[in-house]
């Protein structure tokens, strides 16, 4: 129920990319603007890749003291 966001989310980036592609599809688009759009698109793609952040994450568990620790599967502790 809050609207404020710090940076563009992946979703917003995707929406922006759709927009850029839409502009590039315009036959009348001047070359300079096409280049601008293209550059922006490539930048956004880079951001998307960063956002996907392809590093496998450990599951973190919040301890009672507010510290995060690595979560080990509780299977053997049931």
Partner 1 sequence: MFTQDYLLRGLYVKGEVSNCKYHSSGHIYFTLKDAKGTIGCVMFAGSRGGLSFRMSEGQQVIVGGTVDVYERDGKYQLYAREIILAGSGLLYERFERLKRELQESGMFAQEYKQPIPKYIRTLGVVTADTGAAVRDIIQIAGRRNPYVQIILYPAIVQGEAAVKSIVKGIRTLEAMGVDVMIVGRGGGSIEDLWAFNEREVAQAVFDCSVPVISAVGHETDTTIIDYVADLRAPTPSAAAELAVADVREILRKVSMYRDSIQRRMQWILEGKHSKLRHLKLHMKVVSPGYRLNQKKMDVISAEIRLREGMQHLLEKRRHLLELYVERMRGLSPLERLCSGYSYMEDAEGKNIRSVRQVQEGQEIHIMVSDGVIDARVTAVQALEPEAQDG
Binding site residues, partner 1, CB under 8 A: 1-2, 9-11, 14, 17, 20-21, 24-25, 27, 29, 31, 34-35, 38, 41-42, 45, 48-49, 51-57, 59-62, 66, 68, 71, 73-75, 77-78
From the CB of 6, what's the least distance to partner 1, in Å?
A: 9
The token pair at 36 is 């601008």
In whole angstroms, the minimum distance from the beta carbon of 43 to partner 1 comes to 11
Which residues, at least 6 apart from 56, have a Cβ–Cβ distance to it below 8 Å?
A: none
Written as six digits, the tokens of 2 are: 């809050």
Count the neighbouring beta carbons within 10 Å of the beta carbon of residue 70.
8
């Amino acid at each position: 129920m809050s609207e404020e966001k710090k940076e563009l989310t992946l979703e917003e980036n995707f929406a922006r990319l759709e927009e850029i592609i839409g502009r590039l599809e315009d036959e009348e688009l001047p070359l300079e603007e096409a280049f601008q759009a293209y550059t922006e698109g490539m930048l956004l793609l880079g951001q998307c890749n960063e956002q996907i952040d392809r590093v496998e994450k450990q599951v973190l568990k919040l301890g009672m003291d507010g510290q995060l620790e690595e979560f080990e599967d509780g299977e053997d502790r049931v």
